[in-house]
Amino acid sequence: MAEVKPTTGSIVAHLRGVRDAVADELDQRADRVRAVIAAHRHSGALAAHTTVRTNRTDSTVVMEDPAVFAINYGHLAPNGRWVPGIHAIEAGL
């Protein structure tokens, strides 16, 4: 019977090739998010604050804007009209 060491996941996650593959995948996903943002940008603030953060084993697409939830999912305008969201987060999934 085969035995799997409990640290196997950590060992694999820290391999250079695995880290590089994760970073490449996130760069591609971030490009998709940025494309959606660029097509719908109003002020450019969201585009300027969208970055990819990479640590030792993982990467994250970060959208730093106080209104990111409303921009992505939609919101009511001051006149009561519904403004649909741009769904940039979903583009990166």
pLDDT for res 78: 95
pLDDT, one tens digit per residue, over 36-67 is 988 887 777 888 888 888 888 888 888 888 88
pTM score of the predicted model: 0.76
Please spell the DSSP secondary structure of 25-56, one letter per residue: HHHHHHHHHHHHHHHH-SSSHHHHTEEEEE-S
Average pLDDT over residues 25-36: 90
Mean pLDDT of the chain: 89
Cα torsion 79, 76, 34, 62 to 10°: value is 130
Average pLDDT over residues 2-28: 91
